[in-house]
Amino acid sequence: MPPSARHFEALGTTCSLFVAGAPGEHLERGEAWVRALQARLTRFEPDSELSRFNASAGAWIPVSEELEDLLREALRAWELSGGLVNVAVLSAMHGIGYRRPLREGPSGSIAVATPLPALPDVLEVTPGRARLRPEAGLDLGGLAKGWMADRLARRLGDNALANLGGDLAAQGAGPAGDGWPVEFGGHTVLLRDQGAATSSTRKRAWELGGERVHHLIDPRSGAPACGDLGEVSVVAPTALEAEVLAKTALLLGSGEAPAYLDGKAAAWWLLP
């Protein structure tokens, strides 16, 4: 019996949810959960929890359990990536015209890029509270998608797959009992209690001021990445970890990525 499926647009991308051997109502609740968290974690709405946190930079403010957990994961991602996954990227995003959802087009002009500050230098988190250094701002972006995919797969049931714009979390044995089939780099892999993610400079790209720019910022320069890899896909224990590993590998480039991924990822694909 094929799994039940639900597809919808959220988080600025296409999301797909699948469950095997469970009522389809689980998928409706899963979509509602995604939309509710999106409203709280988006940087594009001034009254979202994330926007209020960014606007309160310099002061300790209360944060929800979900935002606190995600901020702690952001600090762990910074460590795992050697500083290459850095959510303190809001000013750099604004500097390339990414001030609003891409469907509305870029705005402004390209600003001079500067290296990003180390995340632990600008973000502090304690139980129930957090603080940003003045003038710092966060964009949780892909990190939030991986974090959400992991939690959503568990919420959907014992045998489910959550795909949030390429950040995937697989729970259980899949519809045929041998894992959930997912295609990466022209290969079909079977995921079972694993995560996967793809990081790419080919999508979310636009022209501004006669220049082609994309959304993947290299924190070492504060400008869009310009390495020799165009896309990296990774399979790892969780979607969040796969997201961090894929983005780090793409920024490192083909020379350093294999050594970095060895021992951390279950599988990977590097594409120019």
pLDDT of 153 above 70: yes
Q: What is the DSSP letter of 134?
A: T
pLDDT of 1 above 70: no
pLDDT of 221 above 90: yes
Enumerate domains of the chain plus CATH numbers.
4-271 (3.10.520.10)
Would you give the end-to-end CA distance of the chain in angstroms? 39
Instruction: Taking residues 172-193, report their average pLDDT.
Output: 92
pLDDT of residue 171: 96
pLDDT tens digits, residue range 69-111?
Answer: 999 999 999 999 999 999 999 999 999 989 988 888 888 778 8
The proportion of the chain whose per-residue pLDDT surpasses 90, expressed as a percent, equals 83
pLDDT of 205 above 90: no
The proportion of the chain whose per-residue pLDDT surpasses 70, expressed as a percent, equals 100
Q: How confident is the model at residue 187 (pLDDT cuts 50, 70, 90)?
A: confident
d(C-alpha 25, C-alpha 125), whole Å: 36
